[in-house]
Structure 1
Amino acid sequence: MVTCFSVFSIAQENTASNVGFRIFTKVNRPDPKLVEGFHNIPVANIADMMNRTKVMDARIKKINKNNLLGPAFTVKVRSDDNLMAHKAISMAQPGDIIVIDAEGKLDNAIIGEQMVRTAIQRKLGGIVVDGAVRDSDYLAKQTDIPVYAAGITPAGPYKDGPGEINTPISVGGVVVRPGDILVGDDDGVVVIEPQSAQYVLEQSMKKNAGEAKLIEQITNGSRDYSWIDKALKEKSVQIIDDVYK
C-alpha cells in the first residue's frame, strides 16, 4: 500500500494516489536563450502583447531591487506551512524561480532570511510568494536574488505539509505551470507560456521599438495627437463649449 512517505518513489501511473502531497521531480524548462530574450523588456510591454492578461495581481509586490527572469519551479503549500517550499529550494536548478501558492494569506510567513540565503547559495533565479515573507530588512537589502510577495509578517510557519511541487498553481490570480517563463520588474510579474513565448518575444521587441520612437517624438514635440479626438468622435462624446453650471 502506498503511503505519504513513499511519495518520492511513486511511479507515474500512480500519481493520483496522494493528491495534495506529491512531488514531481522533472520540469520541461524552456530554451535558456528564449528566456534570456526577455531580459530588459518591460513587463508592461510584454503584458500588452498578451492582451493585458497573464499579469499577477498588484498584491504581488517587489521586496528588493532585483528584477525577475526565469522558468517557474512551482510549489503549493498550506497557507501557514512551508515544508514543501524548503524541499523545492533544495531541488530547483540554478536560474529557476521558486513560485509559491500560499493562497494569498498573510497570517504566517512562508519565506525568510535563511531560505533566501539557501536559494542564493544554490544560485536560484528568484522567489515569488502569493503569501507573506519575514526578515524583510534582509530581504530588501540583499541584491543577489529577486523576491516578490503579497505581504510581510513576523509570524513564522509550520513544517508539516501537505503540499505539491511542480504541479499547476494559482499565484496572483494567474495559473502558473512548471516551466512557464516569469518576468518581473517594478510594475509586477507576468507569466509567459513557453509554447507562445517566441511570438510574445518578437511582438514585445516591436512594441519596445515603437515606444522608443514615440518617446522621441514626445521629446522633440512632433507627436501627432489627432488620434485622441478621432477616438472621442467615434465614441460620440458630447463637447460643450461653456463652463459647467
Structure 2
Amino acid sequence: MSNVGFRIKKDFERAPLDVLKEYEGIATPNIGDVMGRLCAMDYRIKPVNKQGIHIVGSAFTVRTHPSDNLMVHKAMDLAKPGDIIVIDACGDMGNAILGELMCHYAKVKGIKGYIVDGPVRDLTGIAEMGFPVFAKGGSPRGPYKEGPGEINTTISCGNVPVSPGDVIVGDDDGIIVIPKQDASAVLEKAKALASKEKEIIQSIYDGKWDRTWVDEVLLQKGCEIID
C-alpha cells in the first residue's frame, strides 16, 4: 500500500465476537477509568439520537477530506455486520459528511453506527430512525464526492488514534477506543470496576461508605484544614 492518501484496505482482523458481546453491558466511564483515562474521544463528538444509546463494535476506519464523503460511501459497501464506521474528517465543521439516507443503508447492512469527527445532517430524521450516530454537530451543507481519502488505515478521531478492528464503545457519555490487542484484558478490568462500583453504591445506602481516604489524601498533599 504505497498510494498514501488515496488507498483502500478491504478487510482486517476483528476482536472475537464473545469479547465484543461482553462489552455491551459496560459503561464507557468504567472502561476509560481502567485505561488511564486517556482513550476517550473529544467530548464534542456526541450522539445525535435520543438518550439511552449504547453501541459496541469493531472500528472500520475512514480518513477523508473535510468536505468529501466518497470514501465513506465505499466504506458502507465494504463494512461487515457489527462494524462501526469511524470517520476522520479532520474535525472541520464546514460540510456534513453523511445524512439520513446513508444511515438507512448502513442499518439495512447491519452496520452498528457512525462516529464522525465533523458534522452530519438530517439530524431529525436520524434521531427519529434511532440509528446510532455520533458527531460534532450538524450542518445542512452537503459533501462532495471527489476523494481523496483512505479506508482501514490508522486514523485520528476526536484526538484518539483508531486502528481498524479496535473495539469501539459508545454511550451517552461519549466514545471509548480499545486497541483490539488489549480488548480482553481491558474487558476484565472494566468488569471488575463495574462490580466494585455496585458494591460502593450499596454501601452508600447502607451508610457504610468509607470516606477516610479524602482527608488522608489532603494531608499527604499538605492541605491546611482549619476548624
What band does the TM-score fall into relative to the shorter chain? over 0.9
Separation in structure 2 between the aligned mates of residue 223 and residue 157 of structure 1, nearest angstrom: 53
Query: What number of residue pairs does the alignment pair up?
Result: 225
Q: TM-score, normalised by structure 1?
A: 0.90
Match of 1:170 in 2: 156
Percent of residue pairs identical: 48
Higher relative contact order (CA 8 A, sep 6+): 2
Match of 2:75 in 1: 88
- Match for 1:216 among 198, 202, 205? 202
The question of whether the paired residues in 1 share the 8 Å contact of 2:15 and 2:183 is answered with no
Task: Please list the CA deviations of residues 100-124 of structure 1 after superposition, one character each: whole Å capped at 9, or x if unmatched.
Answer: 0000011000010110011011110
TM-superposed deviation, 1:240: 2.3
Q: TM-score, normalised by structure 2?
A: 0.97
Separation in structure 2 between the aligned mates of residue 209 and residue 121 of structure 1, nearest angstrom: 36
Separation in structure 1 between the aligned mates of residue 25 and residue 19 of structure 2, nearest angstrom: 13
The question of whether the paired residues in 1 share the 8 Å contact of 2:59 and 2:85 is answered with yes
Match of 1:21 in 2: 6
2:30 pairs with 1:37? no
Match of 1:194 in 2: 180
Q: Secondary structure of the residue that 2:67 maps to in structure 1?
A: coil
Task: Please list the CA deviations of residues 70-98 of structure 1 after superposition, one character each: whole Å capped at 9, or x if unmatched.
Answer: 00000011000000001100110011000
TM-superposed deviation, 1:214: 0.3
- Across the aligned residues of Structure 1 and Structure 2, the Cα RMSD in angstroms comes to 0.9
- Match for 1:60 among 13, 33, 45? 45
Separation in structure 1 between the aligned mates of residue 152 and residue 185 of structure 2, nearest angstrom: 25
- Match for 2:141 among 155, 158, 167? 155
Q: Which amino acid aligns with 2:154?
A: P
Q: Secondary structure of the residue that 1:227 maps to in structure 2?
A: helix
Q: Which amino acid aligns with 2:72?
A: A
- Match for 1:181 among 167, 173, 184? 167
TM-superposed deviation, 1:64: 1.0
Gaps of 5+ in 2: none
Separation in structure 2 between the aligned mates of residue 193 and residue 36 of structure 1, nearest angstrom: 16
Q: Which amino acid aligns with 1:151?
A: G
User: Considering only CA atoms, is the larger Rg found in Structure 1 or Structure 2?
Assistant: 1
Q: Which amino acid aligns with 2:163?
A: R
2:127 pairs with 1:140? yes
Of the structure 1 ranges 206-215 and 216-225, higher mean CA displacement relative to structure 2 is found in: 216-225
